[in-house]
Amino acid sequence: MKIAIVFNRDSKSVINLFGVPNQERYGLKAIRRIAEALKRQGHQVTALEGDKDLIARLEEFMPRVLKHERPGMVFNLAYGIQGRARYTHVPSILEMVGIPYVGSGPLAHSLALDKVVAKIIFQRHGLPTPEFAVLENPASPPPALPYPLIAKPKHEAVSFGVRLVRDERELREAAAAIFEKFQQPVLVERFIDGREINVGLLGNAPPEALPPAELDFGPGGPRIYTYEDKSRKSGREVKILCPAPLSPELTQKARELAVRAFSSLGLNDCARVDMRLDAQGNFHILEINSLPSLGEHGSYVQGAKVAGLGFEALLNRLVEAAGARYFGGAKPVRIQTEAANAPSAIFSFLTSGRDRIERRLQEWTAISSRSLDPLGLREAQRELRKLLAEMRMKPVAALSDESSVMTWQTGKGFEGGTILIGHLDVPLPRDVAPQPFRREAEWLFGEGIGCSRAPLVMLEFALRALRRLRVLHNLKLGVSFYCDEGIDCRYSAKLLSAAAAKAGRVLVLRPGNPGDRLVTGRWGQRKYRFAAQGSPRRLDGSFQMTDPLHWLSRRLDRIRALSSPEKKLAVAVVDVDTEAHPQHLPHAVSATLLMSYGEERAADRAEKSMRRILENNGAKGRLELVSDRPPMIRRPSSAALLRTLAEAARRWDIPLNHESSAWPSAGGFAPDSAPVICGLGPVADALYTPREAVSRISLVQRTLLLAQVLAEAARR
């Protein structure tokens, strides 16, 4: 499980600093000790300051989870930065954003931290607590209580400001110091001259009371536990005797009172009840610490140790207690090798490895393999070869060409089975600055991350899941990755067509569209290049001259008019270049034209019209077809494949829709009879731009879908 230890120590990252600052904090050594202990229990751990940036850091560390996936958890050690009820600040944030955490909720913390309210609740529940009064301001009259008395701040912890007073003068001095330093009312209570007993509590409904501990104050000094004692500044050593030397009857009584006090305030998971035992054998509850210290020398940890819980075991029990409270004691899905449990096993494998998936994606985005970069493409090919060799897939020489496309298959081949098609190149021009990998709460950014890198990582972890289940090599599966998406599959088209024709179904690992959409139909695309040549002419006073640029511009308007939504046809000019001598009109012009089309016949008719419009008429020009990417027509044979994907999506509550798209893809190379689905890759945004991104949760969702659909095919 992902566990974020949240604490307050150094950060003052707030909008404004005001009021009483927190003076209570964990040492770095204690935080490291807790983190290392949790790591040894198999958890993935980070430590974060509980300030205004906490939500963003938590979103990066533990992104949104899938249905049935156990979310990460916060191990809350945060005392707050400033203000009253500061223990409640981090739990309130966690409640708001929906992150489980170890420890009590905001209401229980606020009740425990307000010592007066807590004592009133104790009285209402018939729990013994010393008589008390409250000084609301420095002019308040002294309480009608016999001396000696204890004076302490109403809202503080860790014995801040606690004083033993023996007369009104000492009371006034103690109260004045509290009002000045803590700016809050003063709780005054009868001093119970006796032994101080602490009882730790662990768990819920009801909690387990740990063996009581006694504070041994030694000779001399006040018989109260001050902040100076706790911070080792008093010059004396207060020893902890655990188990406390009490009779079995008193031990049981202390435990029962502690459990009742814990329940009266609605605390969760852990707490420590401080009480005094008088000479007559009566216990008096002083207060509850709702965030008991996990310092190795503290009474809470000592009580757990006597109960048989070492430090690691104690922390694990705290995590389990919180987990049972949030998840009803449900255990995470465990890996099974039986085929009947394949969906759960795949789910467990992928969700437990989300960090490995994102790290692998970061590694892939660091490999620059743009369409016109042969060195980068060779590096990407080597990386993919290494992966598929590890998966024990075999290269298919007849369907491979080192410069354009590489195909692999399992030992059973892929004839009549499934072929996965994706591309290694990133279709960006060389002059676009590279984009480094970075995370946001919901999105991952990096060069080619949506169009190429996320589908590659999706392929890798789907194959790893299948190999983990030992079903990969029972599957008729092929993998084809090409290297010329950025130049319209100019060289890979024939081999991709041959591979798709051999398979029984085609899954194209292009990015999913916004709205969690697969693509069941795509338009085709033709690219044309037109070049016209004229004679150089100087610019003079004549307005009757016709140069190639003006000649072409008038015809391009007629070409654009060929576009027709009814005919599923769109024609546009995407690039124009000219050549001209200094002080001359252009004597040469070239243009790139794109045609998107839904039907071959409409495209053929439009091409004929374009050629007629661009007939010579005195200019030396010609129209050339540069590339033709056929449409991926919607076909009835894809319906069963779409249902299979939809059933897998429903199992894990993964949103899944489908649509047609005007963008072309390698799905157009599949024969008309073959089932084909495109856009199976993770949902992407801002494709082919410097802000290209992929949805973090979609990366796991789509990998889960692919692995489950392939696993089901292996069982048939």
Same domain, 700 and 687: yes
Share of the chain above pLDDT 90, in %: 71
pLDDT band at 218 (very low <50, low <70, confident <90, very high): confident
> Which of these, 318, 302, 319, lies nearest to 310 by C-alpha position?
302
Question: In this predicted model, which residue has the larger pLDDT, 442 or 543?
Answer: 442
In a domain, 653, yes or no: yes
Q: What backbone phi and psi angles, to 5 degrees, belong to 3?
A: -125, 125
Name 215's bridge partners: 196, 240
Q: Identify the pLDDT of residue 331.
A: 42
In a domain, 151, yes or no: no
Q: Identify the pLDDT of residue 352.
A: 82
d(CA 547, CA 587): 7
- What's the total number of domains in the chain? 4
Same domain, 252 and 398: no
Q: How far is CA 611 from the centre of its chain?
A: 53
Q: Identify the pLDDT of residue 335.
A: 31
From the number of C-beta atoms within 10 Å of its C-beta (0-12, 13-18, 19+), residue 531 rates as middle
Indicate which CATH number applies to the domain containing 306. 3.30.470.20
Contact by Cβ (8 Å): 199, 277 = no
Same domain, 618 and 711: no
Same domain, 603 and 530: yes
d(CA 230, CA 303): 17
Same domain, 204 and 275: yes
User: Is pLDDT of 79 > 60?
Assistant: yes
What does the pLDDT average to over 121-132? 96
Same domain, 285 and 350: no
Same domain, 529 and 590: yes
What does the pLDDT average to over 374-390? 96
Q: What single letter denotes the amino acid at residue 158?
A: V
Q: Identify the pLDDT of residue 166.
A: 92
pLDDT in tens, 468-509: 999 999 999 999 999 999 999 999 999 999 999 999 999 999
Question: In this predicted model, which residue has the larger pLDDT, 713 or 444?
Answer: 444
Same domain, 594 and 680: no
Edge-to-edge strand ranges of the sheet holding 524-533: 569-579, 588-597, 524-533, 620-629
Contact by Cβ (8 Å): 268, 322 = yes
pLDDT band at 622 (very low <50, low <70, confident <90, very high): confident
Same domain, 587 and 705: no
pLDDT in tens, 667-707: 999 998 899 999 999 999 999 988 999 999 999 999 999 99
In a domain, 216, yes or no: yes
What's 506's DSSP letter? Answer: E
Give the other-Cβ count within 10 Å of 139's Cβ. Answer: 6
Phi-psi region of 557 (alpha: psi -120 to 50; beta: other; left: phi over 0): alpha
User: Hey, which of 157-161, 381-385, 528-532, 565-569 has the most confident mean pLDDT?
Assistant: 381-385
Q: Enter the tokens of residue 159.
A: 């014995």
pLDDT band at 620 (very low <50, low <70, confident <90, very high): low
In a domain, 27, yes or no: yes
Same domain, 352 and 401: yes
In a domain, 333, yes or no: no
Q: What single letter denotes the amino acid at residue 149?
A: L
Q: Identify the pLDDT of residue 63.
A: 85
Helix/strand/coil percentages in the chain, nearest 5:
35, 25, 40
Same domain, 490 and 593: no
Domain hosting 563: range is 525-628
User: Is pLDDT of 339 > 60?
Assistant: no
> Which of these, 621, 619, 624, lies nearest to 529 by C-alpha position?
624
Indicate which CATH number applies to the domain containing 585. 3.30.70.360
Q: Identify the pLDDT of residue 445.
A: 97
Indicate which CATH number applies to the domain containing 78. 3.40.50
What does the pLDDT average to over 502-523? 95
In a domain, 135, yes or no: no
For 629-654, b/e burial (b = at least 16 CB within 10 A) is bbbbbebeebeebeebbbebbebbeb
In a domain, 145, yes or no: no
> Which of these, 97, 88, 103, 176, lies nearest to 135 by C-alpha position?
176
Q: What backbone phi and psi angles, to 5 degrees, belong to 377?
A: -65, -40
pLDDT in tens, 248-285: 999 999 999 999 999 999 999 999 999 999 999 999 99
Indicate which CATH number applies to the domain containing 673. 3.40.630.10
Domain boundary among 610, 628, 646: 628
Lowest mean pLDDT among 523-527, 528-532, 680-684: 528-532
Q: Identify the pLDDT of residue 330.
A: 42
Same domain, 347 and 477: yes
In a domain, 158, yes or no: no
Q: Identify the pLDDT of residue 108.
A: 96
Domain boundary among 628, 661, 695: 628
Domain boundary among 603, 628, 653: 628
d(CA 161, CA 176): 11
